[in-house]
Amino acid sequence: MTFRKRLLLSYLILIALPLLVLSSLFYRTSLNVVTEQAQKNVYDVVMKNNDVIDTKLGIADQNSRALFVDKDLFQIFNDLNPAKEEELLAADRQITAILSKYYSLNEDVYSAQLWTSYYNFGSSVQMPLGNPVQSDIYKEAVKAGGKMVWYPTYDFIQMFNQPWLENGSIDFRYLFSATRLLNFSHMEDSTLVKLKPDVERPVLTISFKSTVMDQLFEKSIPAGSTYMVLNPEDIVVASSDSTLVTKPFKEDWLDQFRDKDSGTARIKIDGRSQIVSYARSEITGWLSIVVTPQSVLVESLVPVIRTSTLVSAIALSVVALLFAYFILSRITGPIKKLMSAMRSVGEGDFGTRVEVTRQDEFGLLSQRFNRMNDRIEMLVKENYEIKLKEKEAEIQALNMQMNPHFLYNTLNIMNWTAIENNQTELSKMLVCLSNMLHYTSRKDWGAVHLTDELEWIRNYFFIMSARFEGKFIVSYEIEPILYEEKVPRLLFQPFVENAILHGFSGMEEGGEITIRGWTEGESRYFEISDNGRGISKEGIDTILYKESASVGIKNTISRIRMAYGDEYGIRIDSTRGKGTSIVIHLPHKIQ
């Protein structure tokens, strides 16, 4: 995988992970906010429904209080003779009219009656009650002694023992009732008048169909929700599931809401997340409960949230990818240029350069690459020149060999001739010349031990001493450690020759040449000094820096620098009339 692909893959991972996390957080947060708002809305609906129910039932409760002091009802029951049927019929008409005045405008009231052991008054709706005095409703009202009793939904057939209606279709099958024992009284001339002690107190029964609550909840709660109204004994007063009405409801999840007045909560019912909103009636004490699946509340918004999250994620991904592509181009563009330039350099084109257009790290890298190419080009050129000079030296050595066997044989014949003529000095000169020629005509032109170099220079001094008899003497001061190290061939010859031929010109005797050698740290130094006439400053500059007749010195300086580096070479110190000192600087312990 290329660097570009790895970098792009890294960017994709770095982009995808945060986007995945952010999208997930956005989706969950949005879903939670929507769910909380929907939960609040359902709770508000339950509270409003509870207020409506309390208002409706509260009106019935207030009207029942008004009946306590109704003067007409007081007169009817106080003067009524239950034994006379005509009085009962007349009283029934009057009582029906009075009850109608209080409850006829309340469309939620199914029937309003006054029950006694001898007659059921105000039955505008034909309901076969049988003997209501035997019912639990009547008994609870009597037991309450004048307090309003809200009796939960009951089965009319079972409550009033009317089995013959079982197979019939009646619209008053399931009712819930409000009952109160009425002990009439009224004020006459600031005096409270009560019923006669022997008058039976009637029981007011206000009956409602359970569908009153059904209509209210079904129109207001979200689709898919279920509701129920429970009395304190957990009897179902109303429910979206009609099979539960009149039956006790004993689910475990209900325990956490049983002693509370109102609220909302998220719970698990049968493994599903549900939102339960509840409110308790101040009139009846009944608990209204609405159970809404959490998925139902947000199912219409989930696609919107999911779509918006997906669109946002895609948009951010596109922007991030464009940004990543821009960054990759800024990174890999210079790298491609460098790779192309390196490929050209690898093929031998050291003149290749990378255009520097930036000031960052890539610009610096391009500058360093260009500088490296300059250095390589220079080194290649230097190496080429070195090889060229080596070839020239080899050619020169070959030329100097001049059939050495013939030359050595000739010198050998001349030597024996000199010996036969008793010319000992000439014989020695011929031997020295033979050794010198043998030294310089070697095919290997590399570095030699200092011992060999000094041996050659002694032969040279012998010949020159014979030529310039008594003109100069030679002394050596060399540290023993230097004898085992190597030096360039003919290192001393140009300087010694310059001292003899030029330094001692005009002198007949008294010339002194000293060759010294010592070490300092990582360097070796050799000094060739004489007491000749010296060299002017212009002469020194000409030797070191200009084209001159001192080809041997120039060649020696070039060979030293090519072998060891530009920091090595020679230094010339000279004083007119006092002599010249030439110091050769070489590295120590380097072959």
Residues in the chain: 591
What is the pLDDT confidence band of residue 582, given thresholds at 50, 70 and 90? Answer: very high
- 105 and 171 assigned to the same domain: yes
- 182 and 96 assigned to the same domain: yes
pLDDT of residue 513: 92
273: which 2 tokens? 């997340």
Check: CB of residue 180 under 8 Å from CB of residue 113. Answer: no
Using the 3D structure, point to which of 168, 189, 209 is the last residue of a domain: 209
Using the 3D structure, point to which of 249, 272, 298 is the last residue of a domain: 298
The pLDDT of residue 503 is above 60: yes
pLDDT of residue 42: 86
Tens of pLDDT, residues 521-537 = 889 999 999 998 888 88
Assess if residue 340 is contained within a domain.
no
The pLDDT of residue 1 is above 70: no
- 285 and 376 assigned to the same domain: no
Q: Which residue has the higher pLDDT, 21 or 98?
A: 98
* Residue 330, number of CB atoms within 10 A of its CB: 12
- 122 and 169 assigned to the same domain: yes
554: which 2 tokens? 């120039």
Assess if residue 285 is contained within a domain.
yes
Assess if residue 337 is contained within a domain.
no
What is the Cα 219 distance to its own chain's centre?
Answer: 50
What is the pLDDT confidence band of residue 381, given thresholds at 50, 70 and 90? Answer: confident
- 244 and 178 assigned to the same domain: no
pLDDT of residue 248: 92
- 87 and 195 assigned to the same domain: yes
- 182 and 269 assigned to the same domain: no
The pLDDT of residue 430 is above 80: no
pLDDT of residue 138: 92
Check: CB of residue 289 under 8 Å from CB of residue 278. Answer: yes
- 582 and 521 assigned to the same domain: yes
Using the 3D structure, point to which of 298, 314, 344 is the last residue of a domain: 298
* Residue 437, number of CB atoms within 10 A of its CB: 17
What is the pLDDT confidence band of residue 519, given thresholds at 50, 70 and 90? Answer: very high
What is the pLDDT confidence band of residue 178, given thresholds at 50, 70 and 90? Answer: very high
- 272 and 365 assigned to the same domain: no
Written as one letter, the residue type at 428 is: K
- 465 and 576 assigned to the same domain: yes
The pLDDT of residue 204 is above 90: yes
Average pLDDT of the segment spanning 258-272 = 88
Split into its structural domains, the chain has a count of 4
User: Which of 151-155, 321-325, 402-406: highest mean pLDDT?
Assistant: 151-155
Place of tokens 């500058």: 367
Tens of pLDDT, residues 476-492 = 999 998 888 888 888 88
Tens of pLDDT, residues 554-563 = 888 888 888 8
Written as one letter, the residue type at 370 is: N
- 195 and 263 assigned to the same domain: no
The pLDDT of residue 149 is above 90: yes
What is the pLDDT confidence band of residue 402, given thresholds at 50, 70 and 90? Answer: very low
The pLDDT of residue 427 is above 60: yes
Average pLDDT of the segment spanning 432-450 = 70
- 90 and 204 assigned to the same domain: yes
Residue range(s) defining the domain that contains residue 151? 69-209
Least confident of 196-210, 253-267, 303-317, 492-506: 303-317
106: which 2 tokens? 């309340």
Tens of pLDDT, residues 293-316 = 877 766 665 666 667 777 777 877
Assess if residue 49 is contained within a domain.
no
